[in-house]
Structure 1
Amino acid sequence: MRQMVIIPLFFFLIVITGCSDVKEIQQMNYATAIGVDYKDDKYIAYVQMVSLSSLSNTEGATATAPDVYVSKTAAKTFNDALFELYNTAQEKIIWSHVTSILLGESAIKHGFKSIFDGVIRYNEFRLTPWVFATKEDINDILSTQGFFNQGSLETILHNPVEIYKQNSLFRPFELHHFAREVYEPALTTYIPSLAINHTQWKKNNKDDAKLMYDGAFFMKNDTFKGFFELQELKGLRWITPEMDRTSVLISNNKKDDQLLVVIEDLKSEVTDSMKAGKPRFDVHVEVEGYVTNQNKDSTIITNKVINTTKDAIKNQIKALFELGKEKETDFLRLENLLYRDQHKYWKNLVNKDSFFTEDGILDEIQVDLVLRHAGAGKNN
């Protein structure tokens, strides 16, 4: 019996003496986001750290919003700028919790590949952070909090998936996905852009700033193609197969009688062919939807709603294509189709940005819409 007591006590002493050099988790700093900009031939690195209470809180809210720390360092290379952080870190920094990378416009123009190369060379960095961009001050974006004292981790900067399921404006990209598209030949991709809305929400009758999408930055490989605002990119969602849910506002019988049609279950495909030695493209979109509002005095004619909604979708796709012709930006990713399916033609193109500016290159836009119900009786 005495032996049975001594043996557990012996192992207990080994455990407590052997763990004396182990750091408590609250004694380490956890980086949660990285920002990158470029100015005066130097990389500017921002690092966001959120207090441990927001990481360990299981109830989803705290009495006060968790503290957010944002550092700012600069150096000739991106990695050196990050290394400068250690001079004031106070405690060890853990990089494996980074869930977002935020790029400034100047950094995008200077080139993404050098930033990506710097990230993947350190084994603690994962390839799963979300990638965003901004035209605003990176420090302000990283310091913006969420609702109900949940802190900045509960914002679209760190958690864009749930809001995308409810309103699919821009498909969020993880780092590995975005890098794959940046390195893909003849492919135009984009980075969703974040801004701060200072007036839409109020907390206790005072303005409470919140993050929002304001557009997207487009790149072809590592070449900057431009920034485009939200209103210009409405057609983009119809060629994004991952689109979950969006809406179209249409006019009903009267000019001031408008209906909101919610669209779900998108299937889209862009196909190519050669006609008379020239490339031609067709866009086919299949969606399902329903009407969410109806005035008591209005009469919904299902066929008219379907046709009007289909026309609205077609017009948005066509408008995006025409904008691409004007700005020489391949929003519909037509060049990548040529690269894959008509490689010999693509290879012989002198100016690969101008092939889609020819008239008639977009042959047909076909939209099939199933209206599940027209909202009948919802106002009764």
Structure 2
Amino acid sequence: MNRTIKGFFILTVTLPLLSGCWDEIEPQRMYYVNGVGVDFKDNQYEVYLQLINFKDIAKSETPYAREAPAEIGYAKGETMEEAIYELYRSIDQEVFWGHMTYLIFTEEALKHEEVISVFDTFSRFRETRYQINVHFTQDSLEEILLITPILNKPLIDSKLSHPLNIRKLEVFTEPVSLRNLVIGLNEPSHEVSLPLVSIDENWETTKEHPSKETTIKGIGILSKDGFRGVIKGDTARGVNWMQNKKNRGDLTFKLDSNKSLTVDIEKKYFDVKPIIKGNQVQFKVDIKVDVILNGFKSKATENEIRKEVIKKVKEEIKATYEAGLKLDVDIYRLSEYLYRNNVKAWKALENNGKIPLTKESIKKINVQVDKIKSGRKTFETTIKE
């Protein structure tokens, strides 16, 4: 038998053995986790598992009866792992965790002394990703996990799964991934601000009941030593201006004529510089923004708008900073700026990773309005009085 025929014979015999996929599971025979809610009550973990229906995502020309976009499983146990295995016992098919997009905790769960071990569980599991978003809430986990986005969009497009989808509209707080959470708790000041998710009923629909939607109402501060507290509403708005990323927000203020004006703010530049004098440190904040006019008041001048924007941004930064001081929180992670800039000075001043902070620790806030944009029109009213 020549070499060619012999090789063909071997290939023919072995090929069926190599092409088999007997250990693979068909996609339609698996359940897919999209989100997980974690609560802690009566010394037990309560776990909510959101399984997503991918039929609402894939496009098809064949009409089909609309099914539930998600199912929520619930179980409890002395450990979170025990609760998850309790859920497994009521599930018919294999569960795939690779598409999981977010974790959401109740305030009670974050206050539990072993909450760090929960993050450790998800970061160690081989199927989960480090880019899972982490949120917290003071509302019902079950209700939040059952909320469908506006116009019945797929759940994987919700703000919990993909919070950066709304970046072009407004960034109230920066999303926190599991990766950034671990980094933030490991580095000065060992504190992380998590978005506070709440339920709103401010949308109407043709259905009998008002449509519910999730919204971000503030931040909760978690440290490696436990949960520190919550900053809600307008008091938390300073976080928007003190993030080291380009973002967008709104400002509403009163003009000299006592009329209110709302403008869009696009942050272009941000920097924090430590100023060290002896055994004390203060910080200088530099921010550069563009202002975009929406509505327009006839008697407003460019200088008046510039002055009010600078005043309002400073007020919001100070309000959030002082709220953080009341919770003994380094809300703007000023300790980390000193750590990156002058580790020797940081070592001399730090206590448990943080430097002592007072109201005077932020020495100066320099806000510069680079441009005031009037949109399509010139800097004049559209309709003359």
For residues 151 and 65 of structure 1, what CA distance do their matches in structure 2 show?
12
The aligned counterpart of 1:300 is 300
Query: Cα offset for 1:186?
Result: 2.1
Matched, 1:160 2:163: yes
- 2:314, 2:365 within 8 Å by CA — same for their partners in 1? yes
Query: Cα offset for 1:208?
Result: 0.5
- 1:186, 1:221 within 8 Å by CA — same for their partners in 2? no
For residues 274 and 100 of structure 1, what CA distance do their matches in structure 2 show?
40
For residues 124 and 345 of structure 1, what CA distance do their matches in structure 2 show?
38
Aligned counterpart for 2:283 among listed residues 268, 281, 284: 281
Distance of aligned partners of 1:343 and 1:83 in 2 relative to their CA distance in 1, 3 Å threshold: farther
Report 1:181-192 matches (<5 A).
181-192=184-195
For residues 350 and 178 of structure 2, what CA distance do their matches in structure 1 show?
31
Distance of aligned partners of 1:363 and 1:140 in 2 relative to their CA distance in 1, 3 Å threshold: same
The aligned counterpart of 1:105 is 107
- 1:113, 1:222 within 8 Å by CA — same for their partners in 2? no
Query: What secondary structure is seen at the aligned counterpart in 1 of 2:237?
Result: helix
TM-score, normalisation: structure 2: 0.86
Percent identity of equivalent pairs: 24
- 1:219-251 superposed Cα distances (whole Å, 9 cap, x missing partner): 233421101112211111111122421111122
Query: What secondary structure is seen at the aligned counterpart in 2 of 1:93?
Result: strand
The aligned counterpart of 1:363 is 363
Matched, 1:126 2:129: yes
- 1:146, 1:153 within 8 Å by CA — same for their partners in 2? no
Q: How many residues align structurally?
A: 364
Residue identity in the other structure for 1:47: L
The aligned counterpart of 1:6 is none
Distance of aligned partners of 1:213 and 1:348 in 2 relative to their CA distance in 1, 3 Å threshold: closer
The aligned counterpart of 1:319 is 319
The aligned counterpart of 1:334 is 334
Report 1:39-54 matches (<5 A).
39-54=41-56
Aligned counterpart for 1:229 among listed residues 229, 232, 253: 232
Query: Cα offset for 1:368?
Result: 0.6
Query: Cα offset for 1:123?
Result: 1.0
Query: Cα offset for 1:252?
Result: 2.2
- 1:96, 1:126 within 8 Å by CA — same for their partners in 2? yes
Q: Give the unaligned 5+ runs of structure 1.
A: 1-9
Distance of aligned partners of 1:276 and 1:343 in 2 relative to their CA distance in 1, 3 Å threshold: closer
Matched, 1:291 2:293: yes
- 1:87-106 superposed Cα distances (whole Å, 9 cap, x missing partner): 01111111111011111112
Matched, 1:142 2:142: no
- 1:284, 1:366 within 8 Å by CA — same for their partners in 2? yes
Query: What secondary structure is seen at the aligned counterpart in 1 of 2:245?
Result: coil
For residues 160 and 310 of structure 1, what CA distance do their matches in structure 2 show?
28
Residue identity in the other structure for 1:272: P
For residues 105 and 343 of structure 1, what CA distance do their matches in structure 2 show?
36
- 2:188, 2:333 within 8 Å by CA — same for their partners in 1? no
- 2:189, 2:354 within 8 Å by CA — same for their partners in 1? no
- 1:187, 1:336 within 8 Å by CA — same for their partners in 2? no
Query: What secondary structure is seen at the aligned counterpart in 1 of 2:372?
Result: strand
The aligned counterpart of 1:267 is 269
- 2:241, 2:267 within 8 Å by CA — same for their partners in 1? no
Query: Cα offset for 1:37?
Result: 1.6
Q: Which of 166-175 and 368-377 deviates more?
A: 368-377
- 1:33, 1:47 within 8 Å by CA — same for their partners in 2? yes
For residues 285 and 372 of structure 1, what CA distance do their matches in structure 2 show?
15
- 2:188, 2:335 within 8 Å by CA — same for their partners in 1? no
Query: Cα offset for 1:58?
Result: 7.1
For residues 208 and 29 of structure 1, what CA distance do their matches in structure 2 show?
27
Matched, 1:244 2:247: yes
Query: Cα offset for 1:119?
Result: 1.1
Distance of aligned partners of 1:98 and 1:264 in 2 relative to their CA distance in 1, 3 Å threshold: same
- 1:260, 1:293 within 8 Å by CA — same for their partners in 2? yes
Residue identity in the other structure for 1:313: V
Query: What secondary structure is seen at the aligned counterpart in 1 of 2:167?
Result: helix
- 1:188-211 superposed Cα distances (whole Å, 9 cap, x missing partner): 32110111112x101116410011
For residues 191 and 323 of structure 1, what CA distance do their matches in structure 2 show?
15
- 1:329, 1:353 within 8 Å by CA — same for their partners in 2? no
Aligned counterpart for 2:174 among listed residues 156, 159, 171: 171
Q: Give the unaligned 5+ runs of structure 2.
A: 1-11
Query: Cα offset for 1:217?
Result: 0.8
Query: Cα offset for 1:22?
Result: 5.1
Aligned-CA RMSD value: 2.8
Distance of aligned partners of 1:230 and 1:343 in 2 relative to their CA distance in 1, 3 Å threshold: farther
Residue identity in the other structure for 1:179: V
Q: Which of 128-137 and 322-331 deviates more?
A: 322-331
Q: Which of 63-72 and 178-187 deviates more?
A: 63-72
For residues 109 and 127 of structure 1, what CA distance do their matches in structure 2 show?
23
For residues 101 and 34 of structure 1, what CA distance do their matches in structure 2 show?
5
Residue identity in the other structure for 1:356: L
- 1:280, 1:363 within 8 Å by CA — same for their partners in 2? yes
Aligned counterpart for 2:197 among listed residues 167, 179, 194: 194
The aligned counterpart of 2:6 is none
